[in-house]
Chains A and B, each alone.
Chain A
Amino acid sequence: GEDVEQSLFLSVREGDSSVINCTYTDSSSTYLYWYKQEPGAGLQLLTYIFSNMDMKQDQRLTVLLNKKDKHLSLRIADTQTGDSAIYFCAERSAGYSTLTFGKGTMLLVSP
């Protein structure tokens, strides 16, 4: 079945850029997503990218997709303490309505 892998933990200082990486195995992935989970809450969609795109920018967020290597990254510019959360990468394959999630990356931003 599909598999999505992420590094488990990232620690950065406030003001630095954060880069969270994700790899996936399904070559028929059509959409790829980044979700954010704050403590005690559900997941919230941050951004998404369609598989025919290489890059998408949305304010402080930049998503890069390397479809050949099946690699997705999320860059957060000027990281703030409020960005501390768990970030999940997810993919949807063509013909499937369910999402496959990675295990999540815990981002810790220190002052």
Chain B
Amino acid sequence: EADIYQTPRYLVIGTGKKITLECSQTMGHDKMYWYQQDPGMELHLIHYSYGVNSTEKGDLSSESTVSRIRTEHFPLTLESARPSHTSQYLCASTDASSGTGGTEAFFGQGTRLTVV
């Protein structure tokens, strides 16, 4: 059973506001990821982390930042939201000890962000 949670599920916010999307997992997974999913369905990896105090940029350049102070928590922050940030954001985590080669990714429900 996957235990990874994202809040909020939906967010509508004005341009220029600072926002933080929360992601928490209770499975003790070391690796966590943020994906941006555009309306055309494609997933783009924007940030990932191998563990506490580790953060890396993904394949798609993003103006967002992340932090990993605790294993279970991987928040994503936008300092100044813009309409171009409107998208679905999906958080995921992987367990290195799982039977699927260590990379069965468990996903949160996603945050649908709309910047007006």
The chain A residues found within 8 Å of chain B, CB to CB, are 1, 8, 30-31, 33, 35, 40-45, 48, 50, 86, 88, 90, 92, 97-99, 101, 103-104, 106
Interface digits, B45-67 against A, CB 8 Å rule (1 contact, 0 not)? 10010100000001100000000
Which residues of the partner chain B approach A103 to less than 8 Å between Cβ atoms?
40-42
Which residues in chain B, 66-112, are within 8 Å of chain A measured between CB atoms?
Answer: 90, 92, 94, 96, 100-110, 112
Q: Would you call A1 and B59 a contact (CB within 8 A)?
A: yes
Which residues of the partner chain B approach A90 to less than 8 Å between Cβ atoms?
105
Given the known inter-chain contacts A30-B101, A45-B105, please indicate yes or no for A97 contacting B43, CB distance below 8 A.
Answer: no
- How far is it, in angstroms, between the C-alpha of A40 and the C-alpha of B10 when the chains are bound? 10
- How far is it, in angstroms, between the C-alpha of A98 and the C-alpha of B43 when the chains are bound? 13
Closest-CB distance, A58 to chain B (whole angstroms): 13
Nearest neighbor of B31 in chain A, beta-carbon distance: A97
